[in-house]
Structure 1
Amino acid sequence: MSNPVLRKDPRNHLIPILDLIEVPQSNLAFMVMEEWSPNFVPDPPQTLRLFLGALRQCIEHAVFMHSHHIAHLDISIRNLLTDYNSHYAYIDFELSRRFEGIPDPRIRCCRGTEVAPELERGEWGDPYKADIWSLAHLMIHASSVTGYDVPELSPLIKAMRTQNFSSRPTAAVVLREFDSITRRISDTRLQVSSYFC
């Protein structure tokens, strides 16, 4: 996801990789990345507009990953960093998997932070829909810890948390619905700060 072509995709919200140091004899590689902060919680976005912008980046990056057949499989507020310039990115890709050429992938026994119920029960599940479950929980936790209450998002989040994974929306549908919902929020309300700011 860090090759020059994919870096230019506006949906790609990865932290820029500055260098890659390979140690072939040990079968290791080290990535040198910009230093970003996990301070989304202690230093939340200053307005509802910025908060929704942060959530949108999280959704948009899931769309980007899924369009390239990659499931993150550990989306959570703990795996979200900021550069303090209204840019947000996922980290911790050690559970991520690419499903190139697999039209209907299935996984079992994921051990991420927010585990979808079908995986928690040891059943087979769709990796992309597992990301949608986790993304819903990220949105819930982000709202809770920052104090931004956006009840308009509740129906979308409920759909993302549907027990039957095949009924959950895709990331692209989530983004489309999110944009539709947030466009209807008044400009005055978008300028409001949370009680934590």
Structure 2
Amino acid sequence: MRWPDLDSPLSQLEEFWRDRQQFLQQRGYLLRPRFRPDWKPSWKGTGLCHCPWNIDDFLFNPRPDLIDAVSIADDLKVVLKLVETSREEIPIARYLSSASLRSGSRNRTVPILDVIPLPDTDDKALLVMPLLRHFEDPPFSYVCEVVEAVRQLLQGLEFMHEHNISHCDACWYNIMMDSSNLIPEGFHYASDERHDDLTLISFRGRSRKAVAPVQYYFIDFGLSRHFKSFEDRIYLEGRVGQNKEVPEFIKDIPFDPFKLDIYQFGAVISSLFPVCCVIFFSREK
């Protein structure tokens, strides 16, 4: 976790969110006190600078294009993502969250709760999503939990492909889970090993198996492509996504984006195999 400068606590990138706090509140989303225009560091003059990581408004926003908020209408914790309107991300995300597709049990794409145009630019907008957690945090406890996650995500990949959408980055860091049953007390967005009150999360006695079914989702459609039909699918060029070991990338030749998804997610499954081995030999043998 990066710490803010005690003398100039908001970074320039964080000021972007502070300057739009009132607009977002009018749209129904409340940012943490740190990002409100009248905010003053709560630790100043208190002698608490020796342990500032235990102060909520000290915690730095982890990523400049994302921020946490609370939906005022229902008190739901959400994440706002700054996206470029020139890309396909918004139309693809909205399409996958449309009523007809959202009802599909195989739809494993992150729900889009709202799309917010920004008042000062047409180049960017905000996607609103529920607050999720990385799918392997905490680590899996049983092999059956890994199998269930892979099952859901394979169905999700198949669902996207049936609708002529290639994710193009179906990789490790774009897979999340709804942890609301696993961590019913919730977790702090800027310090996810702790609750909102900044006490440490204890996973003792908790497992996905005990609170099943945990829901898994693909996120981030910034590189995704949506083709009009199966016949309109084409090969693409370049290198995309987190996995740079794709054979077509190495040979610098065009690639089938749907086969790319399969290769990328196959690498995720391969990464989970050692996890299963550790679990099996430690507790399931």
Provide the residue aligned with 2:237 in structure 1.
Answer: 108
Provide the residue aligned with 1:93 in structure 2.
Answer: 221
Q: Structure 1 regions of 5+ residues with no counterpart?
A: 151-191
Q: Structure 2 regions of 5+ residues with no counterpart?
A: 1-95, 182-213
User: Structure 1 residue 28: deviation in Å?
Assistant: 2.5
Query: Does the alignment pair 1:64 with 2:159?
Result: yes
- Quick check: 50-59 or 115-124, which moved more? 115-124
The higher relative CO (CA closer than 8 Å, separation ≥ 6) is in: 1
SS of residue in 2 equivalent to 1:65: helix
Alignment CA distance shift 1:93-1:196 (3 Å): farther
C-alpha distance in 2 between matches for 1:141 and 1:102: 31
Alignment counterpart, residue 171 of structure 2, candidates 76, 85, 88? 76
Query: Does the alignment pair 1:11 with 2:141?
Result: no
Provide the residue aligned with 1:142 in structure 2.
Answer: 272
1:100-143 deviation digits (Å, cap 9, x = unpaired): 13524201112211242113321011110011110110101123
Provide the residue aligned with 1:188 in structure 2.
Answer: none
C-alpha distance in 2 between matches for 1:139 and 1:65: 18
User: Structure 1 residue 36: deviation in Å?
Assistant: 0.5
Q: Which has the higher helix share?
A: 1
User: Structure 1 residue 19: deviation in Å?
Assistant: 1.5
**1:48 touches 1:194 (CA, 8 Å); kept in 2?**
no
How many residues are aligned here?
Answer: 153
C-alpha distance in 1 between matches for 2:281 and 2:147: 12
- Matched letter for residue 219 of structure 2: I
Q: Normalised by the size of structure 2, how large is the TM-score?
A: 0.49
**1:44 touches 1:51 (CA, 8 Å); kept in 2?**
no
Provide the residue aligned with 1:54 in structure 2.
Answer: 149
C-alpha distance in 2 between matches for 1:18 and 1:195: 41
- Matched letter for residue 29 of structure 1: A
- Matched letter for residue 99 of structure 1: F
1:49-97 deviation digits (Å, cap 9, x = unpaired): 2210101111111101111111111111111111124111111211111
Query: Does the alignment pair 1:41 with 2:144?
Result: no
C-alpha distance in 1 between matches for 2:125 and 2:176: 22
Alpha-carbon RMSD across the aligned residues, in angstroms, is 2.4
Q: Normalised by the size of structure 1, how large is the TM-score?
A: 0.69
C-alpha distance in 2 between matches for 1:18 and 1:98: 20
C-alpha distance in 1 between matches for 2:145 and 2:252: 38
Provide the residue aligned with 2:184 in structure 1.
Answer: none
1:148-193 deviation digits (Å, cap 9, x = unpaired): 039xxxxxxxxxxxxxxxxxxxxxxxxxxxxxxxxxxxxxxxxx76
